[in-house]
Amino acid sequence: MQQDELIPHLFRREYSKIIAVLYHSYKLKNLEIAEDIASETFLKATEVWGIKGVPDNPTAWLYTVAKNKVRDYFKHNAVSEKQLKEVAKQNGFETEKDVEFSNQNIADSQLAMIFSVCDPDNPAESQVCLALQILCGFSVEEIANAFLTNIETIKKRLYRARINLRNGNFNIGALSKTQIEARLNSVLKTVYLLFNEGYFSKTNNRMIRKELCSEALRLGAILTENVLTNMPSTNALLALMCFQSSRLNARTNEEGEAILFEDQDRRLWDDELIQKGNHYLINAYYGDEVSKYHLEATIAYWHTTPANKNKWQHILQLYNQLILIEYSPVTALNRAFAFARVYGSEKAITEAEKLKLNNNTQYLSLLGYLYSTVDVGKSISYYQQAIALTKSQMEIHTLTKEIKKLTKEKSQH
């Protein structure tokens, strides 16, 4: 991997880990201190690696620099060695102790961090916005895409959320079982949106960002391994992500273009992830809870099963339940697609047009797909409208290819 690709890759993967471990292990008074140190670490990597080349173990190099910088911070704020030890004592760590960036410490720190960020003093959506920015390294644009809203709205949410945390003396401490239960929904939504941005990205001109899916799976697994967070809904979310991840390699061709579900090469599906999904889905149904994650995971399960005449009827019924639990444009569009598989495109068009999501790229693309066997002219028109709305170059390329195919078919009739 080239240096210009390596540093952004490491930033996405390691930035939030560095913040979490520094804040958790060194008991820093201010969240921004950890963020500044993490940013300075990557800035130094850009400068040093450009001159001396990439070290043999770039991740370990980042961790070492981050630890040195946090020590420098304490030394700068304590004039003498005596004061430094006093500051360290007040913050609950030993100056001689070398904090480890072990897998366990990273997992513990990130888990503590994400639950602390999801503070009920902030509205639920603001909690998730802040967690996506701090824990997942999302840009404001990525958060806006995840919430289907504009950038200014997200900026305001983040600003207010940070002020509330600062005024509330934010710290990563041991949370009670009651506090964890109160915050779990926001934590799960954060992981869910992280995975979705990876599974169908609207940024960076990539339709799939596997590193985000992997990170979401890792965080989901951490949650199931902790007795206080190993809940039915947690297992349901992890099952959903396993099922969806099992098809990642089959969702695009070598050019990065999307491949429709029915055209995917099933030999590329990951059987191990499907089996893991089955395992977590079984765990999810111990108890009476049925969350949106249960329904979505069960839909994803049906997608991994061989075709049978009732498959799409089961999927449609699940979408009918899901839309009652939590309506969203994405759920409505997916339900319309399932409706088409059960009742045909013409009836599905009537159903889809009731949604009136005329500023939604996926809505226009769905209408283009549904009209392709009914009215080719209308199909092309909807695809063109979708192209005009999307910022994704890969999506534009895929839709343009579909238009060319339809135009060719039209000229032959």
Query: Tens of pLDDT along 150-204?
Result: 899 999 999 988 888 777 655 555 677 888 888 899 999 989 988 888 887 766 5
**pTM for this entry:** 0.81
For residues 126 and 192, state if they share a domain: yes
For residues 124 and 211, state if they share a domain: yes
pLDDT at 130 over 50: yes
For residues 116 and 187, state if they share a domain: yes
Instruction: Place 112 in a pLDDT band, splitting at 50, 70 and 90.
Output: confident
For residues 48 and 108, state if they share a domain: no
Question: Does a structural domain hold residue 399?
Answer: no
pLDDT per position as a tens digit, 287-302: 888 999 999 999 999 9
For residues 118 and 176, state if they share a domain: yes
pLDDT at 226 over 60: yes
Two tokens, residue 249: 């390699």
Conformation bin of residue 356: beta by default, left when phi > 0, alpha when psi is -120 to 50: left
Cβ-based neighbours of 182, under 8 Å, separated by 6 or more: 120
Question: Does a structural domain hold residue 352?
Answer: no
| Highest-pLDDT range among 81-90, 178-187, 213-222, 365-374 | 365-374
Domain end marker among 69, 85, 101: 101
Domain end marker among 101, 126, 152: 101
Q: What pLDDT sits at residue 259?
A: 79
For residues 79 and 113, state if they share a domain: no
For the chain, give the percent of residues with pLDDT over 70. 89
Nearest-angstrom CA–CA distance, 25 and 42: 20
For residues 115 and 221, state if they share a domain: yes
Nearest-angstrom CA–CA distance, 225 and 87: 34
| Residue scoring higher pLDDT (343 or 248) | 343
Range of the domain at 286: 231-249+268-291
For the chain, give the percent of residues with pLDDT over 90. 44
pLDDT at 121 over 50: yes
Instruction: Name which of 50-59, 92-101, 249-258, 348-357 the model is least confident about.
Output: 92-101
Instruction: Place 96 in a pLDDT band, splitting at 50, 70 and 90.
Output: very low
Nearest-angstrom CA–CA distance, 44 and 65: 9
Cβ-based neighbours of 283, under 8 Å, separated by 6 or more: 224, 232, 235, 239
Q: What pLDDT sits at residue 62?
A: 94
Nearest-angstrom CA–CA distance, 250 and 267: 8
Q: What pLDDT sits at residue 383?
A: 95
Report the pLDDT averaged over residues 395-411.
87
For residues 70 and 95, state if they share a domain: yes
Cβ-based neighbours of 287, under 8 Å, separated by 6 or more: 232
For residues 211 and 278, state if they share a domain: no
Instruction: Place 3 in a pLDDT band, splitting at 50, 70 and 90.
Output: low
Cβ–Cβ < 8 Å for 14, 59? yes
Question: Does a structural domain hold residue 218?
Answer: yes
Instruction: Place 87 in a pLDDT band, splitting at 50, 70 and 90.
Output: low
For residues 235 and 203, state if they share a domain: no
Cβ–Cβ < 8 Å for 281, 298? yes
For residues 94 and 165, state if they share a domain: no
Question: Does a structural domain hold residue 281?
Answer: yes
Question: Does a structural domain hold residue 320?
Answer: no
Instruction: Place 148 in a pLDDT band, splitting at 50, 70 and 90.
Output: confident
Domain end marker among 66, 101, 136: 101
Question: Does a structural domain hold residue 305?
Answer: no
Question: Does a structural domain hold residue 366?
Answer: no
Count of domains in the chain? Answer: 3
Nearest-angstrom CA–CA distance, 282 and 342: 27
Question: Does a structural domain hold residue 396?
Answer: no
For residues 158 and 81, state if they share a domain: no
Nearest-angstrom CA–CA distance, 386 and 360: 8
